[in-house]
Chain A
Amino acid sequence: MMQKNIDNIIAQSNDLRWQIGDEFHDNLAEGIYADAAEIVKASVHKPNENNRLRLDAKIDKIITSKTWGFPLMFLILAVVLWLTIVGANYPSSMLADLLLETIHPALKGYASTLGIPWWLDGFLIDGVYLAVAWVIAVMLPPMAIFFPLFTLLEDFGYLPRVAFNLDHLFKLSGAHGKQALTMSMGFGCNAAGVVATRIIDSPRERLIAIITNNFSLCNGRWPTQILIATIFIGAVVPSSFAGIASLGAVIGIAVLGICFMFLVSWALSKTVLKGEVSTFNLELPPYRPPRFWKTLYTSLIDRTLIVLWRAIVFAAPAGAVIWLISNIYVGDVSVAAWLIQSLDGFGFLLGLNGVILVAYIVAIPANEIVIPTILMLTVLVTGVSGGEGAGVMFELDSVNATGDLLRAGGWTLLTAVNLMLFSLLHNPCSTTIYTIYKETKSAKWTVVASILPVILGFVVTFLVAQVWRLLM
């Protein structure tokens, strides 16, 4: 009875729809706009329309212009990076002094007076504590600078302009223009970038955005890039240009990442994720002066501390694992040494080495601990007594000492360049992988998004190594 009536209503609506014809949607929309215009006319008094937002329009004319749009984008990126790199140095070394040079020996001393067995002391203080301390000392300062700067740009209203500038390129690569926004988020954290892809309506384009988000160098990888560039790239030019050269190299890698993002988006949209590019409209919001202190506060609390906490949560067990594989022996070699030896051959093919590959396996939970792991494992392999013993992470006093240690471990300029490339092109961290799974709810696409960048990394580093060895 009830059902019949509902069917009746639906049938009536179908009839009426035929009577009214195609114009229903348009008529309704026009009706709404006409009402809106009447209401506004009665209640709103605007001065000369042309006067409004003139400044905004002027700024937009420059920022989104064909000539200045791209150079300005790179300039802003360079300034943000420069402030991050230079500004982070001092607090970083202060934190390292405090956590590694003062507190660590104190803890060790305390442990020995308590008579704690060496393995427990090593596991907890040299493994877990040092990993956490390292992550705080290395990550906190750059994040505390990078995130607020990024947030200020966001609040100012710059991000949609970036999307506007890049829209044409995204269209060419068969991806959604809003991917520019998720890509920008990825520069802070890939997991956040993956979540942000929800703004993309079409499932096809959203998948492309998720898979390629990893090509945005995330916050965990910036420090690796910066350190390696400072040691190796800065060293090949006269010292007065060292800063510029290493900054240029880091930006180069970031831009290369963007190129890969376009390339892979294009390849995906031409093969497994074929489809039309959907159109969308993006409102360029008015520029709003950011509220400086409030932004500083919220970005510190909401982003920096949350990301830092995550890094600590992952670094602690990773530190324990590093200590364990360095101190557990199978026969007369430690598990770490055995792993390194078995991966050395493959590493050489890629212009890397076994140490780096092992470090990348250990560091799957958090990219931040790649460098300390590399240093620790290098000490283990070379027997150079720079550090404090097997499986102990440490911060060397200066960038020079780090460079000396790495060179003793057989590193060349090629190793450095390929490490920078591999840091860009490898699997996302485990948090991002988990986020990808949660967002796509598909094991298949999670695997693709995780494996694809590693394969690319292998191919690119292999090619670079072969060409390099032919030429040099």
Chain B
Amino acid sequence: MEVKPKSACDSCAHFNAAGLKKLGVNTKAFDHVIALAGNPNTGKSTVFNALTGLRQHTGNWPGKTVTRAEGAFEYNSEKYKLVDLPGTYSLLSTSEDEEVARNFILFGRPTVTVIVVDASRLERNLNLVLQILEITDRAVLCLNLMDEAKRNHIEINTRTLARDLGIPVVPTSARYNEGIPELIQTISEVAKGTIVCKPHRIKNIPKNIEKAVEHLSTEIKKEYPNMPNSRWIAFRLLEGDQHIIELLKSGEFEEYAL
């Protein structure tokens, strides 16, 4: 009997290929919900396809994904439901496609939010990343399109980046399936709490605003002790977001906060 020699990769958690089952659209009975957010045209749909084995068409134009696409995968016998959100540049404005993304991250309470960014355009993409990190505690940065970044001779120190952002950073080239096993492993570790995130909070704001946010946030915390994103709610209240005010008034918030 011939025994195949085990390569180093086989024993590594990151290459646990046998534990991965792409479930396509079968999203019934899942253990974790994973949201996929990011700027338009960063390859979210490609990452989505790579994870779920679906072949949703991916186009090279912003706005390709107009609806919330859902898919699933199984990893080490835990089921993950993946929700591909429409691409947005920001969560601060009130346009309708941003609302889908914002509401899901805020109220859908995904276990982990994967933020897909274009490695060559990191600075512009960070605008959205920092906003999402205000909302959620569990996130993974998927540094996608690394092949293009390499071609443009852009070097990114993922370790310092991860430290500054307070979340794990996984470089990928989803088109070529590079980095996807590592991404899955990281998602599962964040979902299970093996990796604990300490997300970056916006620092460069004037003192008076910081104080106001601090104040409101404590008030909200008093009212809803379980609210993980009281700071963001405070931001929205200061902005005068009618949607949030209505939710607070109607008490529907209670359901979301649980």
Question: Which A residues lie at the B interface, using CB under 8 A?
Answer: 2-3, 5-10, 12-14, 16-17, 19-20, 24-25, 27-40, 42-47, 51-53, 151, 154-157, 159-160, 178, 181, 195-196, 198-199, 201, 282-283, 285-286, 288, 290-291, 298-299, 301-303
Whether B148 contacts A32 by the Cβ 8 Å rule is no
List 5 contacting pairs A-B, 8 Å CB cutoff, sorted by A: A36-B126, A39-B161, A44-B161, A283-B41, A302-B55
**Chain A residues with Cβ under 8 A from B77's Cβ?**
none
Q: Which of A2, A16, A201 touches B95 (beta carbons < 8 Å)?
A: A201
Whether A154 contacts B61 by the Cβ 8 Å rule is yes
Whether B212 contacts A9 by the Cβ 8 Å rule is no
- B57 and chain A: residue at smallest CB distance: A302
Scoring B residues 150 to 165 as 1 if CB is less than 8 Å from chain A, else 0, what string do you get? 0011111110110011
Residues B110-163 near A (CB distance < 8 A): 120, 122-123, 126-127, 129-131, 148, 152-158, 160-161
Query: What CA separation (Å) do A151 and B55 show in the bound complex?
Result: 14
Residues B165-212 near A (CB distance < 8 A): 165, 175, 200, 202-206, 208-209, 212
Q: A20-B212, A33-B127 given. 7 additional CB < 8 A pairs?
A: A6-B248, A19-B208, A31-B202, A32-B204, A35-B203, A159-B60, A303-B57
Q: Which of B41, B55, B131 touches A301 (beta carbons < 8 Å)?
A: B55
Measured CB to CB, the closest approach of chain B to A166, in angstroms, equals 14
Measured CB to CB, the closest approach of chain B to A25, in angstroms, equals 6
Query: What CA separation (Å) do A28 and B213 show in the bound complex?
Result: 11
**Chain B residues with Cβ under 8 A from A288's Cβ?**
60, 148
Whether B153 contacts A10 by the Cβ 8 Å rule is no
- For residue B92, CB closer than 8 A to chain A, the reply is yes
Measured CB to CB, the closest approach of chain A to B166, in angstroms, equals 11
Question: Which B residues lie at the A interface, using CB under 8 A?
Answer: 40-41, 55-63, 66-67, 92, 95-97, 120, 122-123, 126-127, 129-131, 148, 152-158, 160-161, 164-165, 175, 200, 202-206, 208-209, 212, 215-216, 219-220, 222-223, 234-235, 237-240, 245, 248-249, 251
Query: What CA separation (Å) do A45 and B155 show in the bound complex?
Result: 5
Whether A45 contacts B154 by the Cβ 8 Å rule is yes
Whether A196 contacts B66 by the Cβ 8 Å rule is yes
Measured CB to CB, the closest approach of chain A to B164, in angstroms, equals 5
Query: What CA separation (Å) do A199 and B100 show in the bound complex?
Result: 12
Whether A35 contacts B239 by the Cβ 8 Å rule is no
Whether B153 contacts A16 by the Cβ 8 Å rule is no
Whether B212 contacts A156 by the Cβ 8 Å rule is no
Whether A36 contacts B123 by the Cβ 8 Å rule is yes
Query: What CA separation (Å) do A201 and B40 show in the bound complex?
Result: 15
Query: What CA separation (Å) do A36 and B204 show in the bound complex?
Result: 10
Query: What CA separation (Å) do A37 and B248 show in the bound complex?
Result: 34
Whether A31 contacts B203 by the Cβ 8 Å rule is yes
Query: What CA separation (Å) do A9 and B254 show in the bound complex?
Result: 15
A-B interface, 9 closest residue pairs, ranked by CB to CB distance from nearest: A36-B126, A198-B66, A13-B237, A199-B63, A34-B204, A31-B205, A43-B161, A31-B204, A157-B60
Measured CB to CB, the closest approach of chain A to B130, in angstroms, equals 5
Q: Which of A27, A201, A298 touches B96 (beta carbons < 8 Å)?
A: A201
The winner among A51, A178, A199 for most chain B CB atoms within 10 A is A199
Query: What CA separation (Å) do A151 and B249 show in the bound complex?
Result: 48
With A32-B202, A44-B154, A199-B97 known to touch, is A159 a contact of B127 (CB < 8 Å)? no
Query: What CA separation (Å) do A178 and B40 show in the bound complex?
Result: 14
Whether B204 contacts A35 by the Cβ 8 Å rule is yes
**Chain A residues with Cβ under 8 A from B66's Cβ?**
195-196, 198-199
Q: Which of B61, B131, B154 touches A181 (beta carbons < 8 Å)?
A: B61
Whether A44 contacts B216 by the Cβ 8 Å rule is no
**Chain B residues with Cβ under 8 A from A6's Cβ?**
223, 248-249, 251
Whether B209 contacts A39 by the Cβ 8 Å rule is no
Whether A17 contacts B240 by the Cβ 8 Å rule is yes
**Chain B residues with Cβ under 8 A from A291's Cβ?**
175
**Chain A residues with Cβ under 8 A from B120's Cβ?**
52, 286
**Chain B residues with Cβ under 8 A from A8's Cβ?**
219
Query: What CA separation (Å) do A40 and B126 show in the bound complex?
Result: 9
Whether A10 contacts B215 by the Cβ 8 Å rule is no
Whether A159 contacts B61 by the Cβ 8 Å rule is yes
Query: What CA separation (Å) do A151 and B63 show in the bound complex?
Result: 15
Whether A16 contacts B212 by the Cβ 8 Å rule is yes
Whether A156 contacts B248 by the Cβ 8 Å rule is no
Whether A28 contacts B92 by the Cβ 8 Å rule is yes
Measured CB to CB, the closest approach of chain A to B38, in angstroms, equals 13
Whether A19 contacts B205 by the Cβ 8 Å rule is no
**Chain B residues with Cβ under 8 A from A16's Cβ?**
212, 215-216, 238
With A9-B219, A9-B237, A43-B160 known to touch, is A35 a contact of B62 (CB < 8 Å)? no
Whether A24 contacts B92 by the Cβ 8 Å rule is no
**Chain A residues with Cβ under 8 A from B154's Cβ?**
44-47, 52
**Chain B residues with Cβ under 8 A from A157's Cβ?**
60-61
Query: What CA separation (Å) do A29 and B91 show in the bound complex?
Result: 11
Whether B127 contacts A28 by the Cβ 8 Å rule is no
Whether B60 contacts A285 by the Cβ 8 Å rule is yes
Query: What CA separation (Å) do A45 and B123 show in the bound complex?
Result: 12
Query: What CA separation (Å) do A294 and B55 show in the bound complex?
Result: 10
Measured CB to CB, the closest approach of chain B to A461, in angstroms, equals 35
Whether B60 contacts A35 by the Cβ 8 Å rule is no
Query: What CA separation (Å) do A3 and B209 show in the bound complex?
Result: 26
Query: What CA separation (Å) do A31 and B203 show in the bound complex?
Result: 7
**Chain A residues with Cβ under 8 A from B248's Cβ?**
6, 9-10
The winner among B62, B67, B127, B237 for most chain A CB atoms within 10 A is B62
Measured CB to CB, the closest approach of chain A to B249, in angstroms, equals 6
**Chain B residues with Cβ under 8 A from A39's Cβ?**
126, 161, 164-165, 200
Query: What CA separation (Å) do A301 and B49 show in the bound complex?
Result: 15
Whether A17 contacts B223 by the Cβ 8 Å rule is no
Query: What CA separation (Å) do A32 and B232 show in the bound complex?
Result: 13
Measured CB to CB, the closest approach of chain B to A418, in angstroms, equals 36
Measured CB to CB, the closest approach of chain A to B122, in angstroms, equals 6
Whether B208 contacts A20 by the Cβ 8 Å rule is yes
Query: What CA separation (Å) do A154 and B61 show in the bound complex?
Result: 7
**Chain A residues with Cβ under 8 A from B161's Cβ?**
39, 42-44
Measured CB to CB, the closest approach of chain B to A74, in angstroms, equals 20
**Chain B residues with Cβ under 8 A from A43's Cβ?**
156-158, 160-161, 164
Whether A24 contacts B204 by the Cβ 8 Å rule is no
The winner among A8, A43, A178, A291 for most chain B CB atoms within 10 A is A43
- B134 and chain A: residue at smallest CB distance: A32
Whether A27 contacts B59 by the Cβ 8 Å rule is no
